[in-house]
Structure 1
Amino acid sequence: MNTPQFTLTRVIPTPRASLLLSFADGAEFEVNLVEVIRSLRALAPLKNERVFMKAHLGEFSDTVVWPGDEALELAADNLRAMGIEQTGGISHEFIVRWMHDNDLNLDSAAAALGMSRRMVAYYRSGAKAVPRTVALACLGWQAVRHGRVDNRLALAA
């Protein structure tokens, strides 16, 4: 992955089970992993602070890895999405999930939102930040499609 928004330049683990991450595009996040570690059995070794504190950049700067018998790693794109969401933003994963949940491809998603295919692709790939208005449009479209909103109040879906 050679995209700057998913290329890590620095990883600093903290005793609070979070990672201080810097990305090649200048973005920085503190990503709290407590819930992820608690909910995923595969990450159970990270409950041990000594193990967690050994986090470092992966070979190609697109993962955070922990050495050991399990050789655990987390992908930079997922960590960035978590960082964005933990700070109240909307990550590219929102668009990915929305498209998947509604069986949409780039063309149908673009038509649903009234925007270009290219913009949807930018949002889905993480190349551009997802504006709150776009996320709200996705949720509104989904609500209309599933009959949760009176169609007389909605624009053509």
Structure 2
Amino acid sequence: MSKEHFRLRALEALPASRLRLTYADDQTLEVDLSDWIETTRALAPLKDKTLFAQAKVGFFGHSVDWIEDELDLGSSNLRNLAIEQAGGIGHERIWTWLHETGLTLEQAAEALGISRRMLIYYRDGEKPIPRAIWLACLGWEAVRPQGQALPMRVASVREVAAGHG
């Protein structure tokens, strides 16, 4: 499967620790790295505005590099963050959901009512994840159906709280 859509073609360092990223699929996204820089020790050198401005496209477009082999960020992680910051649903949520539920691709696709192929497109970031699909993931997580049958009703907040009290 091609990961071409994660390959960077161009980037521009912007004020306030932001990057404008242009990917091989012609999508241009802006990402704000200020929180990551403030909270991640390894990124602390990027508080230096001069260093931050030196951002460049890394190895085959798969990273943004500041100091070669020492300070870089993966282009797929940046794309996911940019999508989340813009109010979308990043593909890493599907990866995490699959991991946490232990479902196979076949089981997850059946649970969501979509094809295995479409789930792979969402998981791999090749297609945007519709809000309804993410809500279905959350709903599945809330009810954890057993077997083929979906529950007829979901416990209320009070019922859940009473059961855990």
Same fold (TM over 0.5): yes
* Aligned: 1:121 with 2:120: yes
Write out per-residue CA displacement over residues 32-86 of structure 1, whole angstroms, 9 at most, x where no aligned residue: 0011111211111111111111110002111000026x72111111111011111
Query: Which amino acid is the alignment partner of residue 67 of structure 2?
Result: P
> Which residue does the alignment assign to 1:112?
111
- Structure 1 residue ranges (4+ consecutive) displaced by more than 4 angstroms after TM superposition: none
Provide the aligned C-alpha RMSD in A: 2.0
CA distance in 2, matches of 1:104, 1:80: 25
Aligned-partner SS, 1:136: helix
Query: In the alignment, is residue 136 of structure 1 matched against residue 135 of structure 2?
Result: yes
- 1:145: which partner in 2? 144
- Structure 1 residues not aligned, in runs of 5+: none
Structure 2: unaligned runs, 5 residues or longer: 146-150, 155-165
1:53-72 alignment runs, 5 A limit: 53-67=53-67, 71-72=70-71
Q: Return the alpha-carbon distance in structure 1 between the equivalents of residues 70 and 65 of structure 2.
A: 7
Equivalent in the alignment of 1:93:
92
Which residue number in structure 2 is paired with residue 75 of structure 1? 74
Aligned to 1:29: 29
Q: Work out whether 1:50 is the aligned partner of 2:16.
A: no
Write the letter of the residue equivalent to 2:85. Q
Read off the aligned partner of 2:133 and give its amino acid letter.
V
Normalising by structure 1, we get a TM-score of 0.88
TM score, norm. by length of structure 2: 0.84
Match of 2:162 in 1: none
Cα distance in 2 for partners of 1:46, 1:109 equals 40
Look at both structures and tell me which one has the larger radius of gyration over its CA atoms: 2
User: Could you give the per-residue CA deviations for residues 6-27 of structure 1, whole angstroms, max 9, x where no partner exists?
Assistant: 0111111122101011111111
Question: CA offset at residue 108 of structure 1?
Answer: 1.8
